[in-house]
Structure 1
Amino acid sequence: NTALGMPTIFGAVTVCNGATGQPEFILDGPTVTGRRTAALSMLGVRLFHPGAPRAFLVIGTGQQARFHAQAIGQLYPSATLYVKGRTEASEQAFRAHFAQAGVDVTPAHGAAPKEVDVVIAATTSKTPVYDEAARKDRLVIGVGAFTPDAAEIAQDTVRASCVFVDDFAAAREEAGDLLQAGVDWANVRTIGSAVTDGAAHDGGPVLLKTVGSGAWDLAACRVARQMR
């Protein structure tokens, strides 16, 4: 599908009345996944990054990367947006796509530019695509890898960070970045707890890892219903 410029996964979300079971509407599955994943990442930026970010780096040029770039362009239009793709051609196509929407995207050559204070890895890579040392002034978000044998973030970076996840049970089964780094799960918090109890941590580097959850699809459906 990638070679054809098509999404890797297709699907539909059917929304039914919880009391009667009557179908109410249907949502495109990949769109729900892309938007709610980007929404969680933007919530992470709000919770774990002090002030408005100056520069983002999105690693990847696929569907998840595009949804994140769209969200960044909407919420942080004054921030610099960098992209790092697997090939120069994929970067150029990504930049051209967003140029049509008035969003300027700059290619990142080599390591993440020093001014980048939010990194979002949105790939299905089996090996780390981000291996820089953890920094307390740089939030790292991993959204692409969702199997135990895949890891976008280097183990040393994970171990040196305060780790938050979207769904604790799912992360323990699917978050290869964390599993391969051997994190102490007793120290891992959920983004939900950060919302409820405050995003307090030791002031050190923060890593937000999301693997997806049906609960977020339900939340997206509720938003869609309110907008009907």
Structure 2
Amino acid sequence: MRLFDAAALDGALSYPSLIDILDDAFRSEVVAPKRGQYQIERPGEDPAVLLTMPAWTGPGAEKPYIGTKILSVFFGNGKRNLPGVLGAYLLMDGATGMPLAVMDGNRLTLWRTAAASALASRYLSNPQASHMLMVGSGALAPFIVKAHRAVRPLTDIAIWARRPEAAEAVVVELAKDGIAARATTDLEGEARTADIISCATNATAPLIHGHWLKRDAHLDLIGAFTMQMREADADALHRAHVVVDSAKAIEEGGDVAIAIAEGSYSADKVAGTLADLCHGRIGGHPEGGGITLFKSVGVALEDLAAAVAAWEHGTGG
């Protein structure tokens, strides 16, 4: 059994290759049971969540695989100078059940989350989009920018964070890969002019308001994955052609699910899922322009596809 740490995954995965792989995965036969989500109670401690995300290839797969990601989300880890999300991915042979590899779950999540975001953008955003606003400065931010650059001709990339120094740090990180970006403190001003707005934060109240969005904007909501988290208001949903990565985004994630629960939005207004986009069952970028919105909470088939890509690259398979 092989170990894929962060460096090994970085060496095995790339954009736009992984974006294309996810496109194929969403059109393939993959079984992905409902994500397990468990609250961990620790008296006197901040809340924590355990997530389990299994998936396996369907019976028609030439090379069958099984995979499971286990993640812990400890909201108080910042006080310990530790990441809030930690985990691992186990990849197994789908024909025998034999374990093949254990992979850094955090790094795999960064790669596949950004790839899914860019995949949705490839279908939904203006093909000529050049101005991107990245809202958030966590580990995911550079990956999101890199993935979106692989599908759109971005020439102006702005980074916003609650702490300006954190936004500057993302700018420095991107510069290491030859990507020019700039930090901004004007969230509303940038949001009003951006072609693509990606949000990956732990916000519990809307950061982006629908009336800020220009007519042809694409809003990409990634961070809010619980019913206590929210990055955009209901007005943004009402103004947009809304696509979700899966039904979970309607039932248990932030943003869309919260708006539905409070009665300010209706589930039947959601156009469909990312799989629907990839299959061509629903439309993408509106003809003649229009606001689009993608809400993701994470899909297990994305992890499986990324893990298989890393494994087959690493083994020459």
Unaligned runs of 5+ in 1: none
SS in 2 for 1:11: strand
Q: What is aligned with 1:176?
A: 254
Query: Where does residue 104 of structure 1 map in the other structure?
Result: 180
- Give the strand-richer structure, 1 or 2: 2
Of 122, 144, 160 in structure 2, the residue corresponding to residue 84 of structure 1 is 160
2:235 to 142, 149, 156: 156
Question: 1:8 maps to which residue?
Answer: 84
Q: 1:224 Cα shift?
A: 1.7
Q: Is the 8 A contact 1:54 1:115 kept in 2?
A: no
Q: Which whole-Å CA distance do the structure 2 matches of 1:156 and 1:74 have between them?
A: 30
Aligned residue runs from structure 1 range 115-134, under 5 A? 115-133=193-211, 134=213
Closer/same/farther in 2, CA of residues 198 and 120 from structure 1, 3 Å limit: same
Counterpart of 1:197?
280
Deviation, structure 1 residue 226: 3.0
Name 2:133's counterpart in structure 1.
57
Contact 1:148 1:173 in 2 (8 A): no
In the alignment, the residues of structure 1 paired with residue 278 and residue 223 of structure 2 have an alpha-carbon distance, to the nearest angstrom, of: 23
Q: Distance in 2 between matches of 1:13 and 1:59?
A: 27
Q: Alignment partner of 2:297: what SS?
A: coil
CA offsets, 1:112-166, max 9 Å, x none?
A: 4354100001001101111142433100010001001211011211222121000
3-state SS of 1:124 partner: coil
Give the Cα–Cα distance (whole angstroms) in 2 for the partners of residues 167 and 34 of structure 1.
18
Q: Give the count of matched residue pairs.
A: 227
- 2:193–2:214 contact (8 Å) kept in structure 1: no
Identity of counterpart residues, as a percentage? 28
Quick one: which amino acid aligns to residue 186 of structure 1?
Answer: D
Say if 1:12 and 1:194 are closer, same or farther in 2 by CA, change over 3 A. Answer: same
Q: Report the CA distance between 1:175 and its aligned residue.
A: 2.1
Structure 2 residue 304 is the aligned partner of structure 1 residue 218: yes
Deviates more, 1:108-117 or 1:34-43: 108-117
| Worse-superposed segment, 84-93 or 112-121 | 112-121
Gap runs ≥5 in structure 2: 1-76
Deviation at residue 79 of structure 1 after TM alignment: 2.2
How well do the aligned residues superpose, as a CA RMSD in angstroms?
2.1
Residues 151 and 60 of structure 1, relative CA distance in 2, 3 Å threshold: same
Q: 1:25 to 1:100 in 2, by over 3 A?
A: same
Give yes or no for the alignment of 1:23 onto 2:86.
Answer: no
